[in-house]
Amino acid sequence: MRFPIRNLLPLVILALAAGTSQAREVRAIDLPPEQRDRIREIVERHRSEGMADAATKSREAQRAARRILRDQTASEAAVREAYKKAAAAREELVVLRRRTRSEVLSVLTPEQRKELDSRSWRRAGRRRLI
C-alpha cells in the first residue's frame, strides 16, 4: 500500500518524539489534519526546548566513554567518570523523549493509542524471535 507524502509527516514526527522508528506502526493510524498539526507543534516545541541538544550530548558522551574504554592508559576512575557522564546524558534524553511521547500520545484517541500499542507489541515480539 502506498501513502501520500503528506501522510508521512506525522509518522516521522511521532517517531522522532518517541526516539524510535515507530513509523511503520503509525502508518495504519488515520490522523486528521488537526492531530498532525498539534503533534508537529509539540515536537517542534520540545525540540526547541532542548531535545535535539540532549540527543547530541548523549551521543558525544557515549563516544567519549568508548574512546576512554579503548585507551589502555586510562585509569579506572576515568572510565567510571566517562560512563557516569554518558549515563546522565542518556537519562536526560530518555526523560525528554518520554515527556514528548506522553504529550504526543495525549493527542491521539484511545483507539489510535490502542492500535499503536498493539503494533508496537507485535514489533517487539518479532525482535525477540530474531
Contacts of 95 (CB under 8 A, 6+ apart): none
Segment (H or E) for 110: helix 110-129
Confidence at residue 116, expressed as pLDDT on a 0 to 100 scale: 79
Rg (CA), the chain: 18
Domain ranges of the chain: 5-129
pLDDT one-digit tens code per residue, 70-100:
999 999 999 999 999 999 999 999 999 899 8
First to last CA, the chain: 25
Listed residue (60, 106, 104) closest to 85, CA to CA: 60
Q: What is the pTM of this model?
A: 0.68
Low-confidence residues of the chain, pLDDT below 70?
Answer: 1-28, 120-130
